[in-house]
Amino acid sequence: MSLQEKINNKTACIGVVGLGYVGLPIAVEFARKGFKTIGIDLSQKKVESLNQGENYILDIKEHEFQEAYNNGFRAESNYDRIGECDIIYICVPTPFSANKEPDISYITSAATSIQPHLRKGQLVILKSTTFPNTTEGYVMPILDKSGLKVGEDYFLAFSPERIDPGNKKWNTSNTPIVVGGVTDACTEAACLANLQIISQVHRVSSPKVAEMEKLLENIFRSVNIALVNELALLCDRMGGINMWEVVEAAATKPFGFMPFFPGPGIGGHCILIDPYYLAWQAREYDFQTKFITLAAETNENMPFYVRDMIWREIAKMPVTFENAKILVLGVAFKQDVDDIRHSPALRIIQLLKKEGAKNIQYCDPYVPEVHDEGIDMVASELTPELISLADLVIITTAHSDFDYEMIAANAKRIVDTRNATKHVKNYRDKISLLGDGKQ
């Protein structure tokens, strides 16, 4: 039976390598559609949780996960069953080194583990965000060691993830995705597979185009966020100009403008990393992505600016920086999610600790504890009493669950890096807002 026939009659077995924010939603969707689905993750903790029917991804609705579990979705911590799979998604991390160079070892390791089990008719789809030529230049040579010919014996494509954690409108199933196969047959196979769980696909001519397209998406955000961050710093320097008001005014233009807002920095897995992936590859061609790299550096400098705001506020108080009680509200990298990867809040905490701050607590309804980036902390319960005891409250993530009126009423001083207190009409004299032209 051909792969197309297996997909159409739902007898194709799905394998998903990497069961994090990208891989698990894909696995759940296929299982819910009635496909036999096997997840693979080297984390024994994740595997045990999933096999006990426990979901650890906030964006996946509990009833959807349970439907997938009841349909037989199970996880493994090795590749022993990968040969059963007709379609294999690779959804592993792509971090960078301390020198900001790409680390695609998770991708090549996954491909190396798949290769001994590769058989005729299988389709491999790489989803991990990476630099152009990863699919054809790194994954394909590993899989070709099987002796099978791509496009004839097996199929290979790149189809980047499009996940926006916390987005209530756009999810795995209704967000269009891009597909680029090594050959036309690879593209068609990958499109057919994706259309089982996704409403719309856009074909491109090659994996390289799809790889570059994904970088463009994320670098577009990085550059525009850097622009408003830099203007926010300028507004603070000039005085009398509120950057938040400026952006809202510009957003009334119905064409040619898309609003982005300043903040304490950028986080998540992709936007911080992707400019450096492209910059690294560009150097191979004696090309410097100066504009893109400068934008990334601008965003990375924002936690330092927030640290300086905190310094200035504490300097006005009858307490030393070392002994000041600092309460950080929100450590997730964005609103209403539990993802702390590259969170600017954690970077700010690191900087404060490095400068000698000893009394730092945090509140985050989505992140009960943090053991990352050299930080070991447990969340405190957000209460009026806790707020009133703090010398300074720092809003680093604008979670919807936070009661900003209550926070403002009980706080001594607030540093707001997200304009979360926008609708708080009273207590404005307590609030120091990043980019409001009053710093």
The C-alpha angle 104, 271, 225, rounded to 5 degrees, equals 160
Structure tokens at 320: 């030393």
Length of the chain: 439
Cα separation, 82 vs 109, in Å, equals 14
In the residue annotation, 191 being an active-site residue is answered as: no
Provide the token pair at 86.
């007709």
The two structure tokens encoding residue 247 = 């952006």
Q: Which residues touch 154 (CB under 8 Å, ≥6 apart)? A: 118, 119, 120, 121, 122, 123, 124, 143, 146, 148
Task: Compute the distance between CA of residue 146 and CA of residue 115 in angstroms, rounded to an integer.
Answer: 6
Q: Using CA of residue 104, residue 107, residue 110, residue 111, what is the dihedral sign?
A: negative
Catalytic residue of the set 13, 91, 270, 363: 270
Look at residues 215, 225, 335 and name the one whose alpha carbon lies nearest to residue 273: 215
Which residue, 41, 43, 50, is CA-closest to 81? 41
Q: How many CA atoms lie within 13 A of 286 on its CB side?
A: 0
Count of Cβ atoms closer than 10 Å to residue 137 Cβ: 12
Tokens of 219: 């670098």
- Backbone phi, psi, residue 392, to 5°: -145, 130
Q: Which of 436, 396, 403, 438 lies closest to 418 in space, CA to CA?
A: 396
Q: Which residues contact 47 (CB under 8 A, 6 or more apart)?
A: 19, 39, 41, 75, 76, 77
Cα gap 270→439, rounded to integer Å: 31
- Sheet harboring 36-40: ordered strands across? 74-76, 36-40, 13-17, 87-90, 123-126, 155-158, 177-181, 201-203
CA-CA distances (angstroms) from residue 287 to 270, 290, 381? 22, 9, 50
Rounded to whole angstroms, how far apart are CA atoms 182 and 149?
Answer: 11
Here the tokens at position 358 are 């000893």
Amino acid occupying residue 303 = P
Q: Which amino acid appears at position 376 of this protein?
A: D
Residue numbers annotated as active site? 270
